[in-house]
Amino acid sequence: MSEELVFRFKVDGDDFTSAGQASVQVKKNLRQLGLSAEVIKRVSVAMYEGEINMVIHAGGGDAEVRVSEDYIEIVLDDKGPGIKNIDLAMQEGYSTASDTIRSLGFGAGMGLPNMRKYTDYMDIQSEIGVGTKIVMRVNC
């Protein structure tokens, strides 16, 4: 791949039904590029968890996936309330999600830990009242 490929998505925060749409599309796009099934799975699961988080906690946001020669980078940017305590949020089982979200099969406090587990690099920048930006990379 000589040029960097970029896929951009607007994640709708108003409708939980559509949560995960962008990740399904990313998976399709990555399959067309002939990457290994394992890399595609790791990228798409990490993005899926991040996308669901943006819908649950931040009212949506912007997602960007960059494919370069060495790695695939996922950037999730939202204007949500921010994460109060990132160390706590990274702990398995810690969640601030509502019962409604839990009844939909999410909000078990596994999202951020899963994102870290499936990626080779993950950075979270978050400011209360301003938003959260997460950058993740999966090596090809």
Partner 1 sequence: MKINEIQKLLDAKLYCGEDGLSRDVKSVCGSDLMSDVLAYNKDQSMLLTGLVNPQVIRTAVMMDMLCIVFVRSKTPSDEMLELAKDSGIVVMGTDMTMFTACGKLYAGGIVNDFRVK
> Are 83 and 91 a contacting pair, CB within 8 Å?
no
Retrieve residue 71's tokens.
């790695």
Alpha-helical regions (H) of 7-126: 21-32, 37-58, 86-89, 99-103, 111-118
**Minimum distance from CB of 86 to partner 1 (Å)?**
18
Does the footprint of partner 1 cover residue 98 (CB under 8 A)?
no
Residue 74 sits in the site that holds partner 1 (CB under 8 A): no
* Positive/negative CA dihedral, 19, 22, 23, 25: positive
Is residue 104 within the footprint of partner 1 (CB under 8 A)? yes
| Residues 105-124 as x/- pattern, contact with partner 1 by CB under 8 A | xxxxxxx-xx--xx------
Q: Which residues bind partner 1 (CB under 8 A)?
A: 16-21, 23-24, 27, 37, 41-42, 44-45, 48-49, 52, 104-111, 113-114, 117-118
